Amino acid sequence: MALRLGDDAPDFTAETTQGTIRFHEWIGDGWAILFSHPKDFTPVCTTELGYMAGLKEEFDKRNTKIIGLSVDSVRDHDRWSKDIEETQGHRINYPLIGDPDLKVAKLYDMIHPNASGSAQERTAQDNLTVRSVFVIGPDRKIKLMLTYPMSTGRNFDEVLRVLDSIQLTAKYKVATPVNWKPGEDVIIVPSVSDEEAKTRFPDGWKALKPYLRIVPQPR
Protein backbone atom coordinates (compact mmCIF):
# COMPACT_ATOMS: atom_id res chain seq x y z
CA MET A 1 0.00 0.00 0.00
CA ALA A 2 1.33 3.44 -0.92
CA LEU A 3 2.32 5.75 1.91
CA ARG A 4 0.70 9.14 2.32
CA LEU A 5 1.37 12.28 4.29
CA GLY A 6 0.25 11.81 7.88
CA ASP A 7 0.73 8.04 7.84
CA ASP A 8 2.82 6.35 10.49
CA ALA A 9 6.37 5.92 9.22
CA PRO A 10 6.94 2.16 8.99
CA ASP A 11 9.33 0.82 11.60
CA PHE A 12 12.13 -1.58 10.67
CA THR A 13 15.38 -3.08 11.87
CA ALA A 14 18.36 -2.79 9.54
CA GLU A 15 22.13 -2.93 9.29
CA THR A 16 23.84 0.40 8.76
CA THR A 17 27.36 1.76 8.52
CA GLN A 18 26.99 2.68 12.20
CA GLY A 19 25.62 -0.67 13.38
CA THR A 20 22.18 -2.24 13.66
CA ILE A 21 19.28 0.14 14.27
CA ARG A 22 15.58 -0.12 15.10
CA PHE A 23 14.28 2.87 13.16
CA HIS A 24 11.72 4.32 15.58
CA GLU A 25 14.08 3.83 18.49
CA TRP A 26 16.90 5.48 16.52
CA ILE A 27 14.73 8.55 15.81
CA GLY A 28 14.31 9.17 19.54
CA ASP A 29 12.35 12.27 20.55
CA GLY A 30 13.32 14.42 17.57
CA TRP A 31 12.82 14.60 13.82
CA ALA A 32 14.35 12.41 11.13
CA ILE A 33 15.07 12.46 7.40
CA LEU A 34 15.27 9.16 5.56
CA PHE A 35 16.58 9.55 2.03
CA SER A 36 17.46 6.94 -0.54
CA HIS A 37 19.62 6.80 -3.65
CA PRO A 38 19.59 4.39 -6.61
CA LYS A 39 23.05 2.83 -6.29
CA ASP A 40 26.50 3.22 -4.80
CA PHE A 41 29.41 4.24 -7.05
CA THR A 42 27.18 6.35 -9.30
CA PRO A 43 27.83 10.02 -10.13
CA VAL A 44 24.70 11.92 -9.05
CA CYS A 45 24.44 9.98 -5.79
CA THR A 46 28.08 10.73 -4.99
CA THR A 47 27.38 14.48 -5.15
CA GLU A 48 24.18 14.17 -3.13
CA LEU A 49 25.59 12.21 -0.21
CA GLY A 50 28.62 14.47 0.02
CA TYR A 51 26.45 17.58 0.11
CA MET A 52 24.18 16.08 2.74
CA ALA A 53 27.22 15.41 4.93
CA GLY A 54 28.10 19.09 4.64
CA LEU A 55 24.59 20.05 5.81
CA LYS A 56 24.51 17.71 8.81
CA GLU A 57 25.30 20.46 11.33
CA GLU A 58 22.29 22.42 10.07
CA PHE A 59 20.04 19.43 10.61
CA ASP A 60 21.58 18.87 14.05
CA LYS A 61 20.57 22.44 15.00
CA ARG A 62 16.99 21.49 14.16
CA ASN A 63 17.04 18.33 16.29
CA THR A 64 16.85 16.27 13.11
CA LYS A 65 18.75 13.07 12.39
CA ILE A 66 19.57 12.06 8.83
CA ILE A 67 19.99 8.56 7.48
CA GLY A 68 20.60 7.31 3.93
CA LEU A 69 19.64 4.11 2.18
CA SER A 70 20.31 2.18 -0.98
CA VAL A 71 19.87 -1.42 -2.06
CA ASP A 72 23.62 -1.95 -1.76
CA SER A 73 25.41 -3.65 1.11
CA VAL A 74 26.91 -1.91 4.14
CA ARG A 75 30.31 -3.11 2.89
CA ASP A 76 29.79 -1.30 -0.43
CA HIS A 77 28.69 1.83 1.45
CA ASP A 78 31.94 1.81 3.41
CA ARG A 79 34.03 1.39 0.26
CA TRP A 80 32.13 4.11 -1.60
CA SER A 81 32.39 6.55 1.31
CA LYS A 82 36.08 6.99 0.52
CA ASP A 83 35.22 8.18 -3.00
CA ILE A 84 32.64 10.61 -1.63
CA GLU A 85 35.11 12.17 0.78
CA GLU A 86 37.80 12.38 -1.91
CA THR A 87 35.60 14.00 -4.57
CA GLN A 88 33.12 16.04 -2.47
CA GLY A 89 35.30 17.11 0.44
CA HIS A 90 32.97 15.76 3.12
CA ARG A 91 33.27 12.55 5.09
CA ILE A 92 29.97 10.67 5.50
CA ASN A 93 28.91 11.54 9.06
CA TYR A 94 25.51 9.85 9.21
CA PRO A 95 24.46 6.19 8.93
CA LEU A 96 23.76 4.51 5.59
CA ILE A 97 21.33 1.60 5.56
CA GLY A 98 22.30 -1.49 3.61
CA ASP A 99 19.14 -2.84 1.95
CA PRO A 100 20.25 -5.54 -0.52
CA ASP A 101 17.05 -7.54 0.02
CA LEU A 102 14.97 -4.41 -0.87
CA LYS A 103 13.01 -4.76 2.39
CA VAL A 104 13.07 -1.11 3.45
CA ALA A 105 12.83 0.22 -0.11
CA LYS A 106 9.58 -1.72 -0.60
CA LEU A 107 8.30 -0.84 2.87
CA TYR A 108 8.58 2.86 1.97
CA ASP A 109 7.29 2.43 -1.58
CA MET A 110 10.64 3.60 -2.95
CA ILE A 111 10.82 0.85 -5.54
CA HIS A 112 8.44 -1.28 -7.55
CA PRO A 113 6.91 -3.93 -5.26
CA ASN A 114 7.80 -6.68 -7.73
CA ALA A 115 11.48 -5.69 -7.91
CA SER A 116 13.88 -8.50 -7.10
CA GLY A 117 17.48 -9.54 -7.57
CA SER A 118 20.68 -8.92 -5.67
CA ALA A 119 22.44 -5.57 -5.53
CA GLN A 120 25.20 -6.98 -7.72
CA GLU A 121 22.70 -7.90 -10.44
CA ARG A 122 20.76 -4.66 -10.31
CA THR A 123 21.68 -1.47 -12.14
CA ALA A 124 20.79 2.11 -11.25
CA GLN A 125 18.13 1.94 -13.98
CA ASP A 126 16.56 -1.07 -12.25
CA ASN A 127 16.36 1.06 -9.09
CA LEU A 128 14.77 3.96 -10.97
CA THR A 129 12.38 5.14 -8.27
CA VAL A 130 14.87 5.02 -5.42
CA ARG A 131 15.64 8.72 -5.04
CA SER A 132 13.18 9.56 -2.30
CA VAL A 133 13.09 11.79 0.78
CA PHE A 134 10.89 11.35 3.85
CA VAL A 135 10.69 13.85 6.71
CA ILE A 136 9.37 12.17 9.86
CA GLY A 137 8.20 13.99 12.97
CA PRO A 138 8.67 13.16 16.65
CA ASP A 139 5.21 11.54 16.51
CA ARG A 140 6.58 9.10 13.90
CA LYS A 141 4.22 10.54 11.27
CA ILE A 142 5.34 11.26 7.70
CA LYS A 143 5.45 15.04 7.20
CA LEU A 144 7.01 15.24 3.71
CA MET A 145 7.56 12.89 0.78
CA LEU A 146 9.62 13.71 -2.31
CA THR A 147 10.66 11.45 -5.18
CA TYR A 148 13.09 12.66 -7.83
CA PRO A 149 13.98 11.14 -11.20
CA MET A 150 17.19 9.16 -11.35
CA SER A 151 19.01 11.76 -13.47
CA THR A 152 18.18 14.77 -11.23
CA GLY A 153 20.14 15.49 -8.08
CA ARG A 154 18.01 16.67 -5.19
CA ASN A 155 18.06 20.18 -3.75
CA PHE A 156 18.79 19.46 -0.10
CA ASP A 157 18.74 23.19 0.69
CA GLU A 158 15.06 22.98 -0.22
CA VAL A 159 14.60 20.00 2.11
CA LEU A 160 16.13 22.12 4.88
CA ARG A 161 13.78 25.02 4.01
CA VAL A 162 10.73 22.74 4.10
CA LEU A 163 11.88 21.31 7.43
CA ASP A 164 12.04 24.86 8.83
CA SER A 165 8.50 25.46 7.59
CA ILE A 166 7.16 22.18 8.99
CA GLN A 167 8.74 22.74 12.39
CA LEU A 168 7.47 26.33 12.53
CA THR A 169 3.92 25.46 11.51
CA ALA A 170 3.85 22.52 13.94
CA LYS A 171 4.48 24.98 16.79
CA TYR A 172 2.35 27.95 15.72
CA LYS A 173 -0.98 28.20 13.89
CA VAL A 174 0.58 29.60 10.75
CA ALA A 175 1.42 28.52 7.22
CA THR A 176 4.28 29.66 5.00
CA PRO A 177 3.63 31.36 1.63
CA VAL A 178 5.21 30.71 -1.74
CA ASN A 179 9.03 30.78 -1.76
CA TRP A 180 9.08 31.52 1.98
CA LYS A 181 12.45 31.65 3.70
CA PRO A 182 13.12 31.56 7.46
CA GLY A 183 12.58 34.99 9.00
CA GLU A 184 10.05 36.15 6.42
CA ASP A 185 6.37 36.88 7.02
CA VAL A 186 3.92 34.00 7.42
CA ILE A 187 0.16 33.49 7.07
CA ILE A 188 -2.37 32.96 9.86
CA VAL A 189 -4.20 29.73 9.06
CA PRO A 190 -7.93 30.06 8.23
CA SER A 191 -8.96 27.90 11.21
CA VAL A 192 -7.85 30.72 13.55
CA SER A 193 -10.62 33.26 14.04
CA ASP A 194 -9.87 36.97 14.22
CA GLU A 195 -10.68 36.84 17.93
CA GLU A 196 -8.17 34.05 18.55
CA ALA A 197 -5.65 35.80 16.29
CA LYS A 198 -5.81 38.90 18.52
CA THR A 199 -4.56 36.77 21.40
CA ARG A 200 -1.96 34.86 19.40
CA PHE A 201 -0.72 37.86 17.42
CA PRO A 202 -1.29 40.91 19.68
CA ASP A 203 0.74 43.20 17.42
CA GLY A 204 -1.86 42.72 14.70
CA TRP A 205 -1.66 41.54 11.12
CA LYS A 206 -2.11 42.75 7.56
CA ALA A 207 -5.29 41.39 5.97
CA LEU A 208 -5.08 41.31 2.16
CA LYS A 209 -8.35 39.36 2.19
CA PRO A 210 -10.32 37.97 5.15
CA TYR A 211 -8.67 34.61 4.50
CA LEU A 212 -5.18 36.04 3.78
CA ARG A 213 -3.73 37.50 6.97
CA ILE A 214 -0.01 38.22 7.01
CA VAL A 215 2.08 38.42 10.20
CA PRO A 216 5.80 38.45 11.03
CA GLN A 217 7.25 35.02 11.70
CA PRO A 218 6.69 34.06 15.36
CA ARG A 219 9.88 33.75 17.41
pLDDT tens digit sequence for 206-215: 999 999 999 9
Segment 160-179 mean pLDDT:
97
Query: What percentage of the chain has pLDDT greater than the value 70?
Result: 91
Segment 154-176 mean pLDDT:
97
Instruction: Work out whether strand 96-98 and strand 19-22 pair parallel, antiparallel, or are unpaired.
Output: unpaired
pLDDT tens digit sequence for 80-89: 999 999 999 9
Closest to 97 in 3D by CA, of 1, 6, 200, 10: 10
Structure confidence at residue 111 (pLDDT):
81
Cα distance between residue 132 and residue 127, in whole Å:
11
Active site residues: 45
13-153 adopts what CATH topology?
Answer: Glutaredoxin (3.40.30)
Q: Do domains 13-153 and 172-215 have the same CATH topology?
A: no
Cα distance between residue 208 and residue 215, in whole Å:
11
Q: Is the pLDDT of residue 126 over 90?
A: no
Segment 62-83 mean pLDDT:
96
172-215 adopts what CATH topology?
Answer: Antioxidant, Horf6; Chain A, domain 2 (3.30.1020)
> For the chain, which residues make up each domain, given as ranges?
13-153, 172-215
